[in-house]
Amino acid sequence: MKTIQYNQKSIPVLDECDVLVVGGGTSGMVVALSALEENKSVIILEKGILLGGTSTRGLVHPFMRTHVGTGKLTKKLNEEYLKYSPYCRYNGGPYALSFNCDDWADFYEEKIKAAGGKVYYDATFLDVIMENNTIKYAIAYIRNEFYAIKAKTYVDTSAEAVVCRVANVPIDFNGENGMHQSCSLRFEMANVNASRLCDFLRSINYGGFGIPEDPNRIEFVRDNSLIPYFEKAINDKVIVPADVKYIQGFSSPGKPNVMGFNCPELPNIKDINSPEGFSYYVSEGRQMVRRFSRFLINYIPGFENAYVGKIADMLGIRESVRIVGDYIISEEDYKNRATFEDGIAKADWYVDVHKDAENTEEELQKYTIGEYYEVPYRSLISKHCNNLIVGGRHLSCSFRVEASVRIQATLRDIAEVIGKACAYSIDKNVDLNKIDGKIFKCK
């Protein structure tokens, strides 16, 4: 096996490919399949042991909906997935799904491998070796050893800009006024009596998202009718107020009597980018899950015999860093419904900021159906690195625009274009950051 010198050590070159995707999550999986459709060799480096990132390891489902989806590949994959996992369903249109996290990971692994792609699991990206503004090798720690991987194009779908950080791309770590969006730690409650829960909610005139005729499609959210139950549990010292500040639970497709919870939302008091802050949120999140699950079991009919079936093995981080790319999508772009010559995807989710401090979403009104702004190709690239492109929530935009563009359906549309851009870069022998993005203009 060929070796190279890195950090005064000789390390083996494990593999070579056309497209190296760092992060096998929401964006990374679609980038890989898009590039594979263009007959390019693809390797994914995934630090976990299954694909999907927040959608699987983070238990983030269903997809939030978009009315302006443009990705042909995403639409096709969603149609195929519903045949693969027939108890799942659309969540408002063909670009958003309510899905089963375990099936989701298996489906995408099978698709990528069937198309000739490779996945290296337990692979922690570390560094790059660069020459003349171009990445020559990526360095990763894979299964207890250092390896180099050589690629023609590199895609940072890590959500934390881990490749960009070492490839000289400027990073915005600041959030807004020193604050980042609140993160969550999702979990699942098993053995829930959904019919009894629905009966209880009707009895207290619950005014949340409505009580479905089918109890297997329930959504359970914080509502004024539940406040007396919160107050009693707080007085009984079972929970603290922060445990019930934000509540959102969904039925889990293919898992009868299981509800997945998009909470607890952790108090926003630490810097998620610091080792101390991240570790605090993991520990505090697990304690909040423990308290909140005990509240459900002891105070909410339908949960009497329920238990915590699963806790996500990654934090639900809504925002942490963003690259400073060749174009920064701004609040003005959101307000003006901006379009661009190199607009490669459309976005219409509202500015969905989760933050303890007072928000100003009223300044950035929700769109009516059919309105959108575009994501320019330039927000995915940087003049500082020729053969690197970014996919995921860390693309180049303002703090508040990130709270809109980060939804999975939109990021998948962007990812589809990234795979095509990598193929175009190789076929035309043009750097990723020199491509005129208008060739990928969305329709």
Rounded distance between C-alpha atoms, residue 103 and residue 80, angstroms: 12
Q: Give the structural domain span for 95.
A: 3-175+320-440
Q: Both 242 and 162 in a single domain?
A: no
CATH number at residue 388: 3.50.50.60
Q: Both 34 and 170 in a single domain?
A: yes
Cα-based angle 99, 315, 365 (whole degrees, multiple of 5): 75
Give the three-class secondary structure for 29. helix
What pLDDT, on a 0 to 100 scale, did the predictor assign at position 63?
Answer: 87
Quickly tell me which residue has 């059919």 as its tokens.
370
User: If you count them, how many residues does the chain have?
Assistant: 443
Q: Both 226 and 244 in a single domain?
A: yes
Does residue 180 fall inside a structural domain? no
Residue 413 has pLDDT above 50, yes or no: yes
pLDDT per position as a tens digit, 217-227: 888 899 999 99
Rounded distance between C-alpha atoms, residue 398 and residue 423, angstroms: 29
**352 within 8 A of 404, measured Cβ to Cβ:** yes
Listed residue (220, 242, 240) closest to 300, CA to CA: 220
**364 within 8 A of 349, measured Cβ to Cβ:** no
Does residue 247 fall inside a structural domain? yes
Does residue 259 fall inside a structural domain? yes
What are the counts of helices (DSSP H) followed by strands (DSSP E) for the chain? 10, 19
What pLDDT, on a 0 to 100 scale, did the predictor assign at position 363?
Answer: 56
What pLDDT, on a 0 to 100 scale, did the predictor assign at position 294?
Answer: 98
User: Letter for the amino acid at 372?
Assistant: Y
Q: Which of 246, 281, 311 is the last residue of a domain?
A: 311
Give the three-class secondary structure for 246. coil
pLDDT per position as a tens digit, 92-148: 788 888 889 989 999 999 999 999 999 999 999 999 999 999 999 999 999 999 999
**15 within 8 A of 38, measured Cβ to Cβ:** no
Pairing between β-strand 9-22 and β-strand 42-45 as defined by DSSP bridges: parallel
Give the three-class secondary structure for 127. strand
Does residue 283 fall inside a structural domain? yes
Mean pLDDT for all residues in the chain: 94
What pLDDT, on a 0 to 100 scale, did the predictor assign at position 362?
Answer: 46
Q: Both 71 and 202 in a single domain?
A: no
Q: Both 350 and 420 in a single domain?
A: yes
Does residue 57 fall inside a structural domain? yes
Pairing between β-strand 118-120 and β-strand 42-45 as defined by DSSP bridges: parallel
pLDDT per position as a tens digit, 292-317: 999 999 999 999 999 999 999 999 99
Does residue 29 fall inside a structural domain? yes
Our count of domains for the chain comes to: 2
Q: Both 15 and 156 in a single domain?
A: yes
Does residue 424 fall inside a structural domain? yes
DSSP E strand stretches across 110-145:
118-120, 123-131, 134-142
Q: Which of 291, 311, 331 is the last residue of a domain?
A: 311
Q: Both 161 and 240 in a single domain?
A: no
Does residue 182 fall inside a structural domain? no
Give the three-class secondary structure for 248. strand
Q: Both 140 and 207 in a single domain?
A: no
Q: Which of 255, 285, 311 is the last residue of a domain?
A: 311
Q: Both 206 and 349 in a single domain?
A: no
